[in-house]
Structure 1
Amino acid sequence: MTAMAIMFKLLAIMVVILTCAFFFGLLFKKGRDR
């Protein structure tokens, strides 16, 4: 594996985590409002 491939994999993992956190935040906000 090249350094670029490792960097790309880390970036992809970070994006997935951020997306999950964003959606969970939206769901939590909606749940609290109702």
Structure 2
Amino acid sequence: MILLFKLLAVMVVILTCAFFFGILFRKGRGGR
């Protein structure tokens, strides 16, 4: 059960990082 929770946490972190990187990349490209 703990292993599953760790896997889920890692997936959430990766998704969040990808989401933030996408926003920063889009803002840096289109904003300036």
Q: TM-score, structure 1 length as denominator?
A: 0.86
Q: Which runs of 5 or more structure 1 residues have no equivalent in the other structure?
A: none
Indicate the residue corresponding to 1:19 in structure 2: 16
Q: Which runs of 5 or more structure 2 residues have no equivalent in the other structure?
A: none
Larger radius of gyration: 1
Per-residue CA deviation, residues 1-34 of structure 1 (Å, 9 max, x unaligned), is: xxx1000000000000000000000000001102
Which of 14, 23, 27 is equivalent to 1:30?
27
Q: TM-score, structure 2 length as denominator?
A: 0.91
Identity of aligned residues (%): 77
Q: Which runs of 4+ in 1 moved over 3 A?
A: none
